Amino acid sequence: MRRFTLRDSIAATVLAALALAAMPWLMSDFALALTLTCLMYAGLAVSWAMFCGATNCLSLATAAFFGMGAYVTAWGIGTLAYGLGVLLGGLAAAAFAALVGAAVLHLRGAYFAVITFGLGELVRHAITYYEKAYAGTVGRVISEPPETVTIYHVVLLVSALAVVTALVVRASRLGLALRGIGSDEERARTLGVETRRAKILAFSLSAFFPGALGAAMAVRWTYIDPLSVFNPFIGFQTVLIAMVGGAHTILGPIASSVLFSVLTEYLRLQFPYLFLVILGLLLILLVLYLPGGLASLLERWRWGKSRA
């Protein structure tokens, strides 16, 4: 069997994106909304795995990037074109990640997880304080949101870009450097990788997508406040989806984001508490008995076939 090359994978992504682009005219509103959620989580999870899956750094900063993007939209709506807001949201998150990354990326393990979580909360509390003190409100109303079809296409574009970027990074020297860092950072350094620069670059690149997605999705809410867009649940859910899917792969997080979005849509509304109890249990079982994620099932199956 021939292995997929980078070009094959990119072509497959583009084809899939084109097929998905036609959905607004083929699907019901409900199915479209569900697909939109899938796309958002796929973009978030793939971009998270791009950095964290390779380097084994556990970042909980997704909510921070997402919220920053959302606030770019909230502040800019009416004066900024929607597409431009999305771009700026992504750039703001990427710049923030580069700045913060320069300061905290030397930390590892639990330290890194805690500080990235703390950063999100810090930004959230800072914005809450700023809005209360200077804007006199806690939340903002989104007036004149763009059409659902437009939002859908923008989110699709950002998520497809995230997948293509992840594919390119994985095949590049940067990807090799990140895998080396994940395996043994000091060893990577002794072989000539400037690990600090590689990590900041990748962290910043992976932050662009949650920022852009936050800006794109913000208009779906009619009312934005810090608690809803900086919701740590967005960050946790992203990490969960990526790890359940298999954070060292690209297809795994995509597959599990579909799974999670569908589960969430059907169960969460009907049995909100029970759903989360089951989600918790499922997560524990997955980590204990399938630590490589869903992707490892596929790998095991392939391995079995190639040996037979």
Partner 1 sequence: MAFWFELVATGLITGGIYALVALGLNLQYGLMRIMNISHGEFLMLGAYLTWLGHTVLQVNPIVFLPVVALALFTLGVAVYWLCFRRIIRTAPAVEMIEARSLLVGFGLMFLLQNAAYLAWGADLRGYSFLAEAVDVGGARFQANRLVVFAFAVGASLALLAVLRWTLIGKAVRAMMQSPTGAQLVGIDTRYLHPVVFGLGLAMAGVAGALLSMVYEISPGMGEPYTVTALIVIVLGGLGSALGSLLGGFLLGLVETFGMHYTSPSLKMLLSYAVLIGVLLARPKGLFAR
Partner 2 sequence: MREPLLAAQGVSVRFGGLVAVDAVDLAVHAGELVGVIGPNGAGKTTFFHALSGVLVPTSGCIVIVGDDLTGEGAHAFARHGIARTFQTPRVFKEMPAIDNVRFGLEFAGRTRSHAHDAFDEPGTILEFLGLADVAAVPAGGLTPSKQRLLEIGMALGARPRVLLLDEVAAGLTHAEVELTAQLIRRVRDELGLAVIWIEHAVRVLMDYVERVAVLHQGRKIADGDPRAVAKDAGVIEAYLGEQGEPVTEPGRKAA
If one asks whether residue 186 binds partner 2 (CB under 8 A), the answer comes out as: yes
If one asks whether residue 283 binds partner 1 (CB under 8 A), the answer comes out as: yes
Give residues 101-160 in contact with partner 1 (rule: CB under 8 A): 103-104, 106-111, 113-115, 117-119, 121-122, 125-126, 128-129, 132
**H/E/C letters for each residue in the chain?**
CCCCCHHHHHHHHHHHHHHHHCHHHCCCHHHHHHHHHHHHHHHHHHHHHHHHHHHCCCCCCHHHHHHHHHHHHHHHECCECHHHHHHHHHHHHHHHHHHHHHHHCCCCHHHHHHHHHHHHHHHHHHHHHHHHHHHCCCCEECCCCCCHHHHHHHHHHHHHHHHHHHHHHHHCHHHHHHHHHHHHHHHHHHCCCCHHHHHHHHHHHHHHHHHHHHHHHHCCCCEECHHHHCCHHHHHHHHHHHHHHCCCCCHHHHHHHHHHHHHHHHHHHHCHHHHHHHHHHHHHHHHHHCCCCHHHHHHHHHHHHHHC
Residue with tokens 């076939």: 305
Distance of CA 19 to the CA centre of its chain: 22
If one asks whether residue 273 binds partner 1 (CB under 8 A), the answer comes out as: yes
Taking residues 51 to 90 in sequence order and writing x for each that binds partner 2 by CB under 8 A, - otherwise, the string is ----------------------------------------
- Choose between 229 and 243: whose C-beta lies nearer to partner 1: 243
If one asks whether residue 195 binds partner 2 (CB under 8 A), the answer comes out as: yes
Question: CA-CA distance, 258 to 249, in Å (whole number)?
Answer: 15
Give the range of 13-21, 77-85, 158-166, 176-184 binding partner 2 by CB under 8 A: 176-184
**C-alpha distances out from residue 154 to 24, 39, 44, Å:** 13, 10, 14
If one asks whether residue 32 binds partner 1 (CB under 8 A), the answer comes out as: no
Identify what 186 binds: partner 1, partner 2, none; CB under 5 to 8 Å per kind. partner 2
If one asks whether residue 184 binds partner 2 (CB under 8 A), the answer comes out as: yes
Identify what 126 binds: partner 1, partner 2, none; CB under 5 to 8 Å per kind. partner 1
Give the range of 12-20, 148-156, 282-290, 298-306 binding partner 1 by CB under 8 A: 282-290
- Choose between 91 and 247: whose C-beta lies nearer to partner 2: 247
Identify what 6 binds: partner 2, partner 1, none; CB under 5 to 8 Å per kind. none
The least distance separating partner 1 from the CB of residue 29, rounded to whole angstroms, comes to 29
The least distance separating partner 1 from the CB of residue 284, rounded to whole angstroms, comes to 4
| Count, residues near partner 2 per rule CB under 8 A | 18
The least distance separating partner 2 from the CB of residue 229, rounded to whole angstroms, comes to 36
Give residues 84-103 in contact with partner 1 (rule: CB under 8 A): 103
List contacts with partner 2 (CB under 8 A): 173, 176-177, 179-180, 183-184, 186-196
